[in-house]
Each structure stands twice: as structure tokens, then as C-alpha cells.
Amino acid sequence: MKDIKNFINGEYVSNASGKTYEKRNPVDNSLIGMVHEAGQPEVDAAVAAARAALHGPWGKLSVVERCAMLDGVVAEINHRFDDFLQAEILDTGKPAHLASHIDIPRGAANFKIFTDTIKNVSTESFEMRTPDGKTARSYGVRTPRGVIAIICPWNLPLLLMTWKCGPA
């Protein structure tokens, strides 16, 4: 049986309340593990760690460096494909043939497409006339903006998480 803890600031941690709940296999109802329920202290710690990362080394990385890290995520998903597949099967009860052809490969592909997009789409800029007859130039700059929270449904947890996490 697994002890499923919260991953905060690079480490697995229990919760302050001690509350847990059972994680059961949806196919046969067998007990997979006990989940340490995150409460306000864990959420606050996770947000604080994310903000520190934004104002620390992560926020100072160039787009190329962040993309290289996300390419590393793709490589690791593909390298540990069987681990991800087994976790997805246990978590969702989905048949292996379905998860191995949709959930895991498309999850990795989403990270890849978002990194390729940010590497290959130039910063937008355009000129326009202003009401006084002059011109103004507008442009967009892509930089990390803040902390996000991701909530995913039970049926496609990895795949749908990548749609939110990848662009962020």
C-alpha cells in the first residue's frame, strides 16, 4: 500500500491535520494507498514555494532554458512510459491499450508542442494609427507571470494537466 503525500518545494510531505483518505482502484475496489489530504497549511506552503521559485532561479531562466527543461519532462515521460502507464491504469481504471495510446503519449506530446510553439513563435508586434494621427507600436513579451493552480478531472489526469501546465 502506498503512502501518497503532498509534493511541496521539491519534497514529499505529510499534512498538518493528519487527515488521510483511501485511494481505491476503480476496477476492483482494492486499496491502492492512503492519500494525505492537503489543507490550508499545505496549500499555503505550495503557493509560497511556487512564488519563491518565480522570484528565484526559475523566473530568471530564459525561454530557451525553460523550454529545455520542459523537453526534459517529455524525455522523462517517454523514458518512464511504463511507470506512467501503470499509474494511470491504477488511478483511472482505464484499459492499458487505451492509456498507452492516448493518455501517456498525448501527455508527452502536449509538453512538446507547447515548447515548440514558444520556441518558434516570434514575439508579436504591430503598428497602428492613434486618434491623433500618429503611430504606436504594440508588442508582446512572454515572461513568467505568477503562480497557477491546476485541478484536473479523474478520467484524464495526466493528459488534461499537461494542457494547463504546459503553457504556464
Q: Is the pLDDT of residue 145 over 80?
A: no
- Amino acid making up residue 40: Q
Element (H, E) at 34: strand 31-36
- What pLDDT digit, counting tens, does each position of 107-133 carry? 999 999 999 988 887 777 889 898 999
- What is the 3 state secondary structure string of 86-147? HHHHHHHCCCHHHHHHHHHHHHHHHHHHHHHHHHHCCCCEEEEECCCCCEEEEECCCCCCCC
Please give the mean pLDDT across all residues of the chain. 91
- What residues form DSSP beta bridges with 21? 35
CATH class of domain segment(s) 62-168: alpha beta
pLDDT range class, residue 162, cuts 50, 70, 90: very high
C-alpha cell of residue 100: 498507452
What the block records as the C-alpha cell of 68 is 529545455
Judged by average pLDDT, the poorest of 4-8, 28-32, 71-75, 116-120 is: 116-120
Q: Is the pLDDT of residue 101 over 80?
A: yes
Domain spans, the chain: 1-60, 62-168
Backbone angles phi, psi at 18, to 5 degrees: 80, 0
Q: Is 39 helix (H, G, I), strand (E, B) or coil?
A: coil
Give the residue from 86, 108, 83 showing the smallest Cα distance to 158: 108
